[in-house]
Amino acid sequence: MTSFPTHSATVDPVLPFITPPYTNESLFLPRRSRHVPPEVWQIFPTDIPEHWHEFAKDKGYEIVRRVRDKNHIVLECQTCGGMTAHKVYTLRSTKPECATCQYDRTIETAKAARLIFLGYHPTNRHLGVFRAPCGHELIRQFEFVERCARGDACPRCEACHAAKEQEEATTRGWNLIGPDPQNDPSYRLYRHICGQEQRVARANMQTGRFCCEECGEGWSSAPSYIYAMRFVFPDGTQVVKLGFSRDPQSRLHYQLKRSAGAKSAGTNSSEIDGDLLRQVPMQSGHLALCVEKRLHAEIKRTYPGAALPVERFDTWLRVKSEIYVAELEPVILAMLRRLHGDARDLD
């Protein structure tokens, strides 16, 4: 998931150089020596054996002085003029890397990726700390920054991007909670003001072409239905649900019943019997929402004890309220018949 912070920049970036006490020039250090404090890199006052100079020249360096102890020297890069402390052993056995050249390359690559290089990650050598154009700090793999510099990737700031996505959600009455639980990169998990949490494609959040599966708000210009459904739970409890949806069949089959073992071991959706008893078309989702609220209010007034407490059904159904005792089924069906007559009158 890309738009939620994976590496939040809370580390102190490490710079590749120090200023030793005896000089004001920068002494670059190889990665493994960067924890060694400046005062350790004192001049080691001993002669440099003649043949060491030959080694150095062959490898593109000049030996400036001995430092720290008998095993360390300062090499001046013949390409960039930078000074890097190395082990004598490194000079003898391989081609030492110029930490100045490497640092310059990293800065240039970052610049090409529109980033400012702030320093190396203190513990992970593959990561660097960068400042994005928005001002936020980003921790990224060097390899990724190289791809950005080539134009093959984009160093998007998670903080800014998450704020932008949150704003998109806020304007529609939703809260961005996190990445898609099903790992689809085009989806996110959101919470509606009614409390409903659901996956929504970000593109749909931007255009508003979706509905809250709980309260039905959203995409309110599309036609919708008021419906009554009967459920029989595995323990034999029969209940009736009154609600509205753009697609009651899909709501019944794919959204309401909990999937196998989701809440309680030994129960699954295949044991929950569900039937769509009746559906009445409404001109819009908004109208359906208003009508549905009116019906629930009417039931509450007339049959105050008919709504089941959530503990009685949330093992089996993915809803939080408005499930009624089976005895209310004929009452609800009569309401829908009446509503159907009203709906026809509107035509």
- Name the residues that contact Zn ion, by CB under 5 A: 77, 79-80, 82, 98, 100-101, 134, 136, 157, 159-160, 192, 194, 196, 212, 214-215
Shortest distance in whole angstroms from residue 216 CB to Zn ion: 7
What type of residue is 22? Y
CB-nearer residue toward Zn ion: 129 or 328: 129
Shortest distance in whole angstroms from residue 252 CB to Zn ion: 18
Shortest distance in whole angstroms from residue 37 CB to Zn ion: 24
Shortest distance in whole angstroms from residue 17 CB to Zn ion: 12
- Tell me how far CA of residue 18 lies from CA of 13, 76, 123, 260, in angstroms: 14, 15, 18, 61
Q: Are 202 and 223 in contact (CB under 8 A)?
A: no
Q: Which residue has the tokens 């749909």?
A: 204
Shortest distance in whole angstroms from residue 179 CB to Zn ion: 18
Is residue 37 exposed (0-12), middle (13-18) or buried (19+ Cβ within 10 Å)?
exposed
Per the structure block, which two tokens stand in for 84?
């890097």
CB-nearer residue toward Zn ion: 103 or 187: 103
Torsion sign across C-alpha atoms 199, 296, 241, 333: negative
Q: Are 174 and 193 in contact (CB under 8 A)?
A: yes
Angle at 332 between CA 326 and CA 338, to 5 degrees: 160
Whole-number Å distance between alpha carbons of 342 and 2 = 49
Q: Are 323 and 306 in contact (CB under 8 A)?
A: no
- Tell me how far CA of residue 209 lies from CA of 31, 162, 202, 242, 246, in angstroms: 52, 21, 10, 24, 12
CB-nearer residue toward Zn ion: 214 or 292: 214
What DSSP element (H or E) covers 293? helix 285-302
Shortest distance in whole angstroms from residue 305 CB to Zn ion: 26
Whole-number Å distance between alpha carbons of 330 and 293 = 19
What type of residue is 172? R
CB-nearer residue toward Zn ion: 118 or 157: 157
Shortest distance in whole angstroms from residue 198 CB to Zn ion: 9
CB-nearer residue toward Zn ion: 160 or 333: 160
Shortest distance in whole angstroms from residue 192 CB to Zn ion: 3
DSSP labels for 313-332? TTTTBS-SS-EEEGGGHHHH
Q: What is the DSSP letter of 40?
A: G
CB-nearer residue toward Zn ion: 160 or 326: 160
CB-nearer residue toward Zn ion: 81 or 223: 81
Shortest distance in whole angstroms from residue 282 CB to Zn ion: 17
CB-nearer residue toward Zn ion: 65 or 192: 192
What DSSP element (H or E) covers 187? strand 187-192
CB-nearer residue toward Zn ion: 134 or 260: 134
